[in-house]
Structure 1
């Protein structure tokens, strides 16, 4: 058995010239190469914040969001490697070990053990290599062909450090390729090595990381005794033997259950582990971890020339003294976000939106003249001008505001600041029953509730996950921005940024109050402890920022010409005809007025009981931007008529209601996918009720204070 266990350690190395200057060592393949028709599947695995998602984008050209805070990779994401049609690479969640303590680790382990990819691309942060290699040696125990990508090597070199690539390859027994994913350096060489090891099924040349001379060989003897004990069981369970032995020694209950040992074998296993603990003076988990870190230290001592303290690290420490300081963190956050809103709604975004609105108005007038000149049917004429141009055009005019806001947010995200926000908010969130980790889905929720709800999957506890999903819709999504922009331009042109800050603050405060109610009733208990890594501050990558802006603009335009386009035509039709399908001269006689008039009394206590407002709110269930297009259509294409329906104060009450009422159908559907149908219905009803109650409170407060 000892010989079997040592077999992988002594695998023969052979050189493969022609694959680049690095990665010349490969282990001799056990069998024939895979046929050319075989699909080569790869798992892309690594720690959080090591550049994994950036590498995935470089490999596949995938339009995936890139960021510095944990939780970006929520689902399994697949892509074909560029130039290699018969490949498929899967971007797995960022993890630190192969122990299933979190959802990310569980997803990764299940994929590697059950889907059995043909190769693993393990990306590590070369500026923090010791911590990253802890995952590497666990991946190697899976006995899957593997290549190591040393990312951020440009930073290592800039700070005077270096890594002896060939020596590291020789000691690990896998190809090692230096890359800089953000600069697209070394990517092609990495692809060549990955395809080579996968096609030839060249498995790691080393999987035994415990030195028999360390600590009197206690861990070494323990692992090899376990290997001998579980070998047949691991084969039947289709779990790599060395991986299974390490996990059993750690006390991994899932692996132990899968091995299905009998009572005598379990007792013997207990004796083996107990003897190791007695000899080592550590519990089993600490002993295995110590064994791995000693091996990693030997590797790093032999291969890594440590750089001086990096400029990025020194700069990050200096900036963090302010942005994460005890007394300065919250004021800094408020100041930064206030500046973003002021630039978006008071300077840049509004100016660009006004320019686009003038262009759309000019085009609408030009089309109007053309339709009139050609004597187009009045019904078709009205549909195009009063329906499509008035509805879709009014929504499109707010595109610059959306893009401007996300330009600034993407800079904050890509620079590393958003990771600090999670750290800063941990203490505050704990007071309402959540951990700092919950801030990630909530921050995403400010962009869109759908990915915000989905991002809650990364939370380790069911309690935290459910609470976060229920609170995320209180974060004002970007789809509501056109509503805010329309009303602030009409009623508060000089105070747009202030109104925006007030609305976002109202949503957050309402969410906090609701969270306190949940904490004291449905979700009693303490949140899971929050530990995260703060990446160094970095200059935002132009490609990442541009990609995010393009995604947001494309999504907004797609919605404008799909859901909003259809909603606009339906609204135009219903307000153009009466129940007998006769054209009406007064929209109050239309089908729409008849239906919406039934619902309108519900909003009378809030100060806006007009049937047209009810119609706009109903269409908002499909897409929040439809509120703007509907009002524009019903007002004959002129938003100046808003003053006939609202006073400045009733406009505030309306904005509060739209801020808090039920999110769009897509968001409710995502809640249903995560929690089930009953929870989805509950969220829809709950948010309507909360929005109505809060709006009523604001209206009554205004009446009492004489603001109405």
Structure 2
């Protein structure tokens, strides 16, 4: 529950402080530290602000601020204590109340649940990490947009429970496509405790653009340099420790298909989650927090394969080792920075915005004239006109001095920062082995202007020929089996309505549907094969121009082919199409793609409506 939900006279224990980094830091510095008991002393006459007592002194918070602090109430703590086999202190016989120690133990148990969001470019390996960590079996495809909504899984590691959310792949946090908008809303409205930014290490420069946008949001973040084995085979060189230092984010080499680096990744997440908010200006950790982290580390030290040094080591005492994480401001140039500061000055006067969002991130999005951010400002504050006026002046100044629009200037500055950081980290692409040699060779054949379309037609012909020709054999077996069951029941049961219902209704009805199951399964097998092999993306590439002539996007080919299997996932797959117009047209056409499940319906309608026109075969 939230601290704002406690009533006067009630008490609770701090579990965690939510919101963005700047707000969390200020609240923690006021004494709202995990595990501390807080009492509600007094509500103002208008119910806002509220006076609390914590660490022996009294402090007032607005309800909007208290709403960002998660606590555990006495009732919740008592419920947790009942479910524990042993408790640290027995309940007093004369009272059902819990001691402060028991309240703290219950709060610490609840705190050991970490909400993690996986964010990254399409095809960078987010779903592979999700499957490896949670034991789930989500679909891993070879084209963008496989994850079309958020998938949630759970994992346990070193005494902590992780709620892992696999977000759709996105190249940026701009509101150009449904994926980008969905990811941004998920991060802002359901701020995770830690963000794992999954980066394709073999295409690191392109992937780091999204990292710079996440840095603007002031989130606790760790970067997983996935597919690191491919960069090693290719002979790439990069000082990832130096790169992490420049970005202010830990960079962990990983290979999710084999599990390399995953344990270290989650170990560092726990260190960051428990320690980052409790560092003072000199980089020293709160002694009580440091002792708690040390005890946790000692408890699980034996389970580690190696006790090697790593980044974000908060278990080494009051002074953490290798502390890389820090909030940096990417310099977008003097004119853009002046505009950001001017907009921030107005935004910081709005408490609701200041507590829930990074004002720097909002200022950057306003300079980019992001429609969703403008809508947020209008709906969240009464000073929208003043904010937009300051923004418009800043945009005009940038335009006058740079002769470029703000969005272009900001984008160029981010890529300039990325390029400079990679140079300083000694990034070089190797040439030991072309890890994409086979892929490039196959691409030259299947996307060739002369043989590409014949191969495409051949693939589609094989898919449907196998579906309807090979499918006839199991269909005949199923039909014979259903007929045998019906005949057996007809010969053993006495005549009556129950017999008619079983034979004509249940067996006849179900049998007429499941007879088409082999065709559906064969069709799905071929669709899955084309997805996993990467041919689906290549087919969309060669079909793009033809699709455009019909008013569709090249990506429309993927949901249209999927429509032969089932229209429901096909409609969901249209979210990968950036253009809203093309997306709607594709969805309108999809019902015309007949999936196998419709065949029995067609047969029933034809047999009912056109029985008199049946011709002998």
Decide whether the 8 Å contact of 2:553 with 2:577 is kept in 1.
no
Offset, 1:309 = 8.0
Decide whether the 8 Å contact of 1:47 with 1:95 is kept in 2.
yes
Q: What is the CA deviation profile of residues 255-305 of structure 1, one whole-angstrom value per residue up to 9, with x for unaligned ones?
A: 345445565664444444443444444321111111111111122221534
Decide whether the 8 Å contact of 1:30 with 1:201 is kept in 2.
no
Q: Tell me what 1:324 maps to.
A: 447
Q: Tell me what 1:338 maps to.
A: 461
Q: Confirm or deny that 1:647 pairs with 2:589.
A: no
Offset, 1:318 = 2.6
Whole-Å separation in 1 of the counterparts to 2:196 and 2:546: 38
Offset, 1:480 = 4.3
**3-state secondary structure, aligned to 2:348:** helix
Offset, 1:334 = 0.6
Decide whether the 8 Å contact of 1:442 with 1:452 is kept in 2.
yes
Q: Tell me what 1:291 maps to.
A: 413
Q: Confirm or deny that 1:164 pairs with 2:287.
A: no
Q: 1:36 aligns with which of 102, 109, 112?
A: 109
Q: Confirm or deny that 1:68 pairs with 2:37.
A: no
Against the structure 1 CA distance between its residues 452 and 166, is the aligned structure 2 distance closer, same or farther, given a 3 Å change threshold? same
Decide whether the 8 Å contact of 1:426 with 1:437 is kept in 2.
yes
Offset, 1:148 = 1.2
TM-score of the pair, normalised by structure 2 = 0.65
**3-state secondary structure, aligned to 2:525:** helix
Offset, 1:131 = 0.8
**3-state secondary structure, aligned to 2:110:** coil
Offset, 1:195 = 4.1
Q: Tell me what 1:142 maps to.
A: 217
Whole-Å separation in 1 of the counterparts to 2:411 and 2:346: 21
Q: Confirm or deny that 1:52 pairs with 2:126.
A: yes
Q: Tell me what 1:446 maps to.
A: 564
Q: What is the CA deviation profile of residues 66-95 of structure 1, one whole-angstrom value per residue up to 9, with x for unaligned ones?
A: 322333323333222356884322222221
Whole-Å separation in 2 of the counterparts to 1:467 and 1:337: 23
Q: Confirm or deny that 1:230 pairs with 2:331.
A: no
Q: Confirm or deny that 1:194 pairs with 2:314.
A: no
Whole-Å separation in 1 of the counterparts to 2:606 and 2:528: 40
Whole-Å separation in 1 of the counterparts to 2:408 and 2:476: 63
Against the structure 1 CA distance between its residues 601 and 475, is the aligned structure 2 distance closer, same or farther, given a 3 Å change threshold? closer
Q: What is the CA deviation profile of residues 519-544 of structure 1, one whole-angstrom value per residue up to 9, with x for unaligned ones?
A: xxxxxxxxxxxxxxxxxxxxxxxxxx
Decide whether the 8 Å contact of 1:453 with 1:469 is kept in 2.
yes
Against the structure 1 CA distance between its residues 225 and 351, is the aligned structure 2 distance closer, same or farther, given a 3 Å change threshold? same
Whole-Å separation in 2 of the counterparts to 1:310 and 1:473: 46
Offset, 1:350 = 4.7
Whole-Å separation in 2 of the counterparts to 1:600 and 1:362: 22
Q: Tell me what 1:129 maps to.
A: 204
5+ residue gaps, structure 1: 1-6, 12-28, 488-595, 611-644, 649-708
**3-state secondary structure, aligned to 2:459:** helix
Whole-Å separation in 2 of the counterparts to 1:239 and 1:346: 58
1:255-404 equivalence runs, <5 A: 255-256=373-374, 258-259=376-377, 261=383, 266-301=388-423, 302=425, 304-308=427-431, 311-347=434-470, 349-351=471-473, 360=481, 364=485, 368=488, 376-379=493-496, 388=506, 391-393=509-511, 395-396=513-514, 398-404=516-522
Offset, 1:386 = 6.3
Whole-Å separation in 2 of the counterparts to 1:600 and 1:452: 26
Against the structure 1 CA distance between its residues 340 and 262, is the aligned structure 2 distance closer, same or farther, given a 3 Å change threshold? closer
**3-state secondary structure, aligned to 1:181:** coil
Q: How many residues align?
A: 464
Whole-Å separation in 1 of the counterparts to 2:365 and 2:351: 12
Against the structure 1 CA distance between its residues 44 and 346, is the aligned structure 2 distance closer, same or farther, given a 3 Å change threshold? same
Offset, 1:601 = 10
Q: Tell me what 1:659 maps to.
A: none
TM-score of the pair, normalised by structure 1 = 0.58
Higher strand share: 2
Whole-Å separation in 1 of the counterparts to 2:228 and 2:573: 30
Against the structure 1 CA distance between its residues 286 and 361, is the aligned structure 2 distance closer, same or farther, given a 3 Å change threshold? closer
Whole-Å separation in 2 of the counterparts to 1:241 and 1:59: 34
Whole-Å separation in 2 of the counterparts to 1:480 and 1:269: 55
Offset, 1:333 = 0.9
5+ residue gaps, structure 2: 1-20, 26-30, 36-106, 279-324
Whole-Å separation in 2 of the counterparts to 1:363 and 1:147: 61
Q: What is the CA deviation profile of residues 208-243 of structure 1, one whole-angstrom value per residue up to 9, with x for unaligned ones?
A: 1118xxx6x444444444444533347635321221
Q: Tell me what 2:592 maps to.
A: 474
